[in-house]
């Protein structure tokens, strides 16, 4: 009979121990952003003596992206304005220095690189050719446009 009592007491302790424990679910969300820093070798380009209907001579721009992770560079243009005159963002054309065809800028973001690139601590550099190509009907004037180049984590 002593055996039976011991077993019952042990089961009673286990049951009471299980009844004390409670659990609550916890959801954890972490938004991890890669660290990208973009630097341009110039903050302004000037195209002098542009002839309407002819593409200007290209100018180079070098971007250096440092940090970590894959990225894409995008260019978002704005229309050109000059004392009450306008020209569309598509007047601006760009390409990677070593790639053959120009891409026409627009007010929507356009990829500047053929594929994703990888930023490094030392910096990942890319050189681009930019030119303007005003239509033959463009009026004389000193046109200005703002362009945004963004390093977008991939």
Q: Helix/strand/coil (H, E, C) string of 32-72?
A: CCCCEEEEECCCCCCCCCCCCCCCCCCEEEEEEEEECEEEE
State pLDDT tens for residues 80-113: 999 999 999 999 999 999 888 999 999 999 999 9
Question: Which of 31-35, 145-149, 150-154 shows the lowest per-residue confidence on average (mean pLDDT)?
Answer: 31-35
**CATH 3.40.50.300 matches 36-153:** no
Backbone angles phi, psi at 25, to 5 degrees: -75, 150
Token pair 């973001």 in the structure block, residue: 109
State pLDDT tens for residues 34-64: 689 999 999 999 999 999 999 999 999 999 9
Structure confidence at residue 4 (pLDDT): 43
Q: Which stretches within the chain are classed as H helix?
A: 2-20
Ranges of each domain in the chain: 36-153
């Amino acid at each position: 009979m002593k055996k039976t009592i011991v077993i019952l007491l042990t089961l009673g302790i286990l049951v009471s121990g299980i009844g004390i424990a409670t659990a609550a679910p916890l959801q954890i969300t972490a938004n991890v952003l890669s660290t990208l820093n973009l630097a341009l070798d110039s903050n302004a380009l000037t195209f002098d003596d542009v002839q309407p209907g002819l593409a200007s001579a290209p100018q180079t721009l070098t971007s250096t992206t440092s940090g970590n992770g894959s990225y894409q560079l995008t260019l978002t243009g704005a229309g050109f304005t000059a004392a009450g005159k306008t020209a569309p963002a598509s007047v601006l054309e760009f390409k990677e220095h070593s790639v053959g065809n120009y891409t026409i800028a627009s007010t929507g973001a356009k990829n500047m690189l053929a594929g994703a690139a990888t930023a490094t601590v030392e910096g990942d550099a890319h050189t681009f050719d930019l030119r303007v190509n005003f239509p033959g009907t463009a009026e004389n004037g000193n046109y200005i446009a703002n362009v945004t180049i963004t390093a977008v984590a991939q």
